[in-house]
Structure 1
Amino acid sequence: MSAIFSGDNKIILADNMEFLTSVPDKSVTMIYVDPPFNTGRTQSRTQMKTVRVANGKGDRVGFGGHSYETLRGALASYDDAFTNYWDFLEPRLEQAWRILADDGTLYLHLDYREVHYAKVMLDMIFGRDHFLNEIIWAYDYGGKSRSRWPAKHDTILVYVKDPTKYWFDSEEVDREPYMAPGLVTPEKRERGKMPTDVWWHTIVSPTGKEKTGYPTQKPVGLVRRMVAASSRRGDWVLDFFAGSGTLGAAAQQLGRRYVLVDQNPQAIDVMTKRLPAAALVGV
């Protein structure tokens, strides 16, 4: 796998952990991952907290040389394909940190059920001062609860490998209309405004041309914004929970090179049809 980030764009059928451990350090500029949200019907919450302990006796040494101990309670069974979501996700995020280039950025896409645990985890892996943004993707589609405020957003955590070197180009990002256009000059109104950390963007239309049939497909416009800001033309971007291949579609539009990894044959089938020019590896 040492040459995986060279040559053609690639779609890889593989277990993502096996793939990640084979990738050399600092190989990729931008990683976007949209892992399973762990929304099985039978759920209970793990009790997790991180405390700094004296004399370097913790089970994790964090940034700045501080020693940490991670305390987890028992996590009961889930309906997902794994029994402990966090034991599943943490080593993959550690590998993501390792393979990011010094100017690289991670975008971790989760929903409200798990994002607070992931924030603690990423603070430990990357360091709290490597946290860049919490992006809220807000949409208005689907069922409406009458017993609580309807949940209509996902959260995307953004961490950088090196806070002094990461790449971010706001000029590359598609701009959006002002919410109060009468309060700005005609020139600003014509150009549009830089997006904030709250992104209003529709989901993939069930009847639209973008729809692939993959159940967790994310809209290209959403991921395109991340790729545009955090990579340059010709840079390598990676999604190791690739699903429908939206990162590849966004990267292709912007002239970035991509590697998409998934072990689900349905996902591989969707991606190869959606991105026919990419090389298929691992089958």
Structure 2
Amino acid sequence: MGDLGWAVDGPNLVVHADNLSVLPDLPDGAFPLIYLDPPFNTGRTQSRQSTTVERAGGERAGDRVGFGGRSYATTKGLLYSYSDTFADYWQFLEPRLIEAWRLLSDTGTLYLHLDYREVHYAKVLLDGLFGRECFLNEIVWAYDYGARSKRRWPTKHDNILVYVKDPAKYHFDSAEVDREPYMAPGLVTPEKAALGKLPTDVWWHTIVSPTGREKTGYATQKPEGILRRIVSASSAPGDWVLDFFAGSGTTGAVAVALGRRFVLVDENETAVDVMRARLGSDTRFVARRPD
């Protein structure tokens, strides 16, 4: 599509570009799984992107009516009036999420990785964009590392919102997900204790170890274990996975290991250098310069 040269039977792809310049060149419904780990709050410097909403989302986005005729504009207006900082952040993120909705297949799932500062706003607005019936889960990723506040409860978790394109036919394969040990193995049979249990919506998982083999040196790198659960549960072997805030390329590394294919996008040159070293010669790299 466009000058990306992307095709469903083509190689894995990394694009060095502003993601909003790339997404319109990808076809509707092409991706069964989209994982996004955007900047948690980019602030006022991103507000210049707000003019691209109509181009990205088409007529329904331009007239500010949510998908399915929901009260999207009203809800968004209330949140804008509540927080100028949020308005700036959402003007950056909104057109990209509209594109994510378009790019999801009918059986597709979106995972949006945020933190406590933005997740409650995003939940309300994604309800308007996707529909409340399309909300599947809020996953809490809990970890124990870093500074410890003595003036409040230390913040040791991220939030991952999970939405599906169609609640009647989304893909979810619990049999493929890694299992966890029971917290009280004596309360279950030895067979169950040996098998372990399916993870709940609270995931206890360490961050990327500063001295571990996964470490790439990229500041916001996420652990492969988190992405492995997501990719295993919400895609099938051979499926295409999209991550357009790709960072260190963990989504791509996990996709390859699990027999999936990927399209990754990031505008940070350091991120692309890390991905080039991490993802190997079988990946096609494309640089799209600003007009």
Q: Mark yes or no: TM-score above 0.5.
A: yes
User: Where is the strand percentage greater, Structure 1 or Structure 2?
Assistant: 1
Give the whole-Å Cα distance in 1 for the aligned partners of 2:112 and 2:70: 25
1:60 is displaced (CA, Å) by 3.1
| 1:183-211 CA-partner distances (Å, limit 9, x unpaired) | 11111111110000000000000111100
List runs of 5+ in structure 1 lacking aligned partners.
41-57
Quick check: 1:256 aligned with 2:264?
no
Where do residues 235-274 of structure 1 align in structure 2 (5 Å cutoff)?
235-274=239-278
User: What is the letter of the counterpart of residue 128 of structure 1?
Assistant: R
Output the CA distance in 1 between the equivalents of 2:207 and 2:85.
30
3-state SS of 2:242 partner:
strand
Q: Give 1:82-231 correspondences, 5 Å limit.
A: 84-231=88-235
* CA 1:210–1:162: 2 relative to 1, 3 Å: same
Once the two structures are TM-superposed, the CA of residue 67 in structure 1 deviates from its matched residue by 4.1
Extract unaligned runs of 5+ from structure 2: 44-61
Q: Find the partner of 2:81 among 73, 82, 106.
A: 73
Q: Secondary structure at the match of 1:73?
A: helix
Partner deviation per Cα, 1:191-238 (whole Å, 9 max, x = no partner): 110000000000000111100000000000011100000000000001
Q: Does structure 2 retain, via aligned residues, the 8 Å contact 1:5–1:236? A: no
**1:22 and 2:25 matched:** yes
1:143-202, CA deviations, whole angstroms, 9 ceiling, x for partnerless residues? 000000000000000000000110000001011111111111111111110000000000
Q: Which has the higher helix share?
A: 2
Correspondence list, 1:19-58, <5 A: 19-38=22-41
CA shift, 1:281, in A, is: 1.4
CA distance in 2, matches of 1:216, 1:14: 18
In 1: Cα distance, 2:250 partner to 2:16 partner = 16
Task: After superposition, give the CA deviation of every residue in 1:241-273 in whole Å (9 maximum; x if it has no partner).
Answer: 000001011111110001110011000000010
C-alpha separation between the residues in 2 aligned to 1:183 and 1:177?
12
Give the structure 2 partner of residue 278 of structure 1: 283
TM-score (norm 2): 0.86
**Aligned equivalents of 1:226 and 1:5: distance in 2?**
24
Check whether the contact 2:31–2:240 (CA below 8 A) recurs between aligned residues.
Answer: yes
RMSD over equivalenced CA pairs, Å: 1.9
Tell me the TM-score normalised to structure 1 length.
0.88
Contact kept? 1:239, 1:260, Cα under 8 Å? yes
User: Distance in 1 between the 2:278 and 2:186 partners?
Assistant: 41
Contact 1:234 1:257 in 2 (8 A): yes
